[in-house]
Amino acid sequence: MIRKERAILALEDGTVYRGYAFGHRGETVGEVVFNTSMTGYQEIMTDPSYNGQIVTITYPHVGNYGVAIYDMESNKPYVRGFISREFSGEYSNHRAQQSLEAFMQQYGVVSIQGIDTRALVRRLRTGGVVKGVIAHRSYTHPEDAYGEFTPAEEQVYVQRARDHQDIDGHDMTREVTTALPYAFPTLRHGKRVVLMDFGIKHTIIERLAEVGIEPIVVPAHTTPAQIMALQPHGLFLSNGPGDPAPLEYAHKTAWELMGLLPTFGICLGHQILGLAAGGQTFKMKFGHRGGNQPVKNLLTGNVEITSQNHGYAVDLDSIPNGAFVATHINLNDGTLEGMAHARYPVFSVQYHPEASPGPHDSRYLFDRFIEEIDAFDGGTGTPIAKALPGRLGV
């Protein structure tokens, strides 16, 4: 019988799951969430939107196709930890350069396997997301890596989870945004668009370039004057981690530029637009994370299967004067998934149309963005919310 190094997952509610160490040996703490995707673990790990979170993969077997450098969504993993029922020690994939465990060890990702992930996910769905700690026995007791944690030791980690700072009210984008502006290389000249980086994924930049946009990525704190000095044809507000409410500098920028440039927001960018217009956001019980979320396009009646990763949502009714109207809703819980300004060429979606990983049902939104840029006349443009259904349809 193969002996395995012991590890635990200790939650702030006092629950302790006992399993086995995987990845980098150590300890980590963060908000425990779950993702229902069956593939795409590397893209999930390197998505900056997961900064501060320990991700549970509901699919029971993870790692069998290894890690490929071409599938990185940023320059490193941003997850605080990773949880699976079983990680694969071997991999088979002609594109892969290394195993998942070697990748985790290289970047310091602390993980645990061998726990009942179904029970964990049910607890998160019932009680909501919680803070937790993954601890490896070999980190604190290298002479006894195969031994059990004592009840007293487990309670120490439970208390550490309780003492950890909440994501709520904390600006997480400062840890993931680019330090300096940069231009993304393209093969052709196109419409210049400024991308505000709150934790942008590489695939989003690539999709924008594919539809004829010249992306210029700027830090999250870039001012409206600095953005307009670049003489852009459009503005893009990216995805990113955590609570959108503390990002008042971003709300201010989005508000001051609203109507001056065609604007497209994704995920956190969608929430920033809602807050900029005077609305409110709220934290969801366990959020939407996975590649199988059904969304209805209210302008066409079409249903899209979407890739999502968010724990907050916009309360459309809180936006004053009906400035934004709903364009998409989630068919599972009825939450807002997309909206468009009633007057300006400004629209956003809560989900990820670039879908990496995930289905490609919503990639048309990138085409619609370039169409809005081309149609913009320097004034209010054609209001998306009142345009023909095809403007935001397929």
Shared fold status for 6-163 and 182-387? no
The tens digit of pLDDT for each residue in 83-103 reads 999 999 899 999 999 999 999
CB 42 within 8 A of CB 320: no
Q: Which whole number is the average pLDDT over 241-270?
A: 98
Topology annotation, domain 6-163: Glucose Oxidase; domain 1 (3.50.30)
* % pLDDT > 70, the chain: 95
CB 57 within 8 A of CB 35: yes
Q: Which whole number is the average pLDDT over 275-295?
A: 97
* Span 182-387 CATH architecture: 3-Layer(aba) Sandwich (3.40)
Global confidence as pTM: 0.94
Q: What DSSP assignment string belongs to 115-152?
A: S-HHHHHHHHHHH--EEEEEEEHHHH-GGGTTSPPPHH
* Residues tagged in the binding site annotation for L-glutamine: 49, 240, 242, 268, 271, 309, 311-312
Q: Where are the domains of the chain?
A: 6-163, 182-387
Query: What is the spatial distance between Cα 120 and Cα 348, in angstroms, rounded to a whole number?
Result: 33
Whole-number average pLDDT of the chain: 94
The tens digit of pLDDT for each residue in 136-152 reads 999 989 999 999 999 99
Burial of 173 (0-12, 13-18, 19+ CB in 10 A): buried
pLDDT of residue 123: 97
pLDDT of residue 387: 47
What sign does the CA torsion over 98, 100, 105, 108 have? positive
Q: Which 3 state secondary structure label does DSSP give 39? A: coil
pLDDT of residue 389: 45
Residues with catalytic roles: 267, 352, 354
The tens digit of pLDDT for each residue in 336-388 reads 999 999 999 999 999 999 988 888 899 999 999 999 999 997 654 444 444 43
Q: Parallel, antiparallel, or unpaired: how do β-strands 6-11 and 16-23 relate? A: antiparallel
